[in-house]
Amino acid sequence: MLMPEGVAVPENDSIQWIIDACVQRGWSYCPRVHIQLFGDTRGT
């Protein structure tokens, strides 16, 4: 499972290459859904 570091959620068009690489390798891509839902706050 691959999840990016950071405090912001990247735009879909900027991460397509890494999603494609994950699919080719049989890995899962895990977006930072907690940041999307709750923002960059302590404890998320």
Residue range 30-41, pLDDT digits in tens: 888 888 888 887
Quick check: 27 and 2 in contact, CB under 8 A?
yes
Cα-based distances in Å from 30 to 15, 20: 12, 13
**pTM (whole model) above 0.75:** no
Q: 10-residue block means of pLDDT along the chain (44 residues)? A: 80 88 93 83 74
Sign of CA dihedral 37, 1, 3, 16: negative
Predicted local confidence at residue 24, as pLDDT: 96
> What is the average pLDDT score of the chain?
85
Predicted local confidence at residue 38, as pLDDT: 87
> What one-letter code names the amino acid at 7?
V
Predicted local confidence at residue 36, as pLDDT: 80
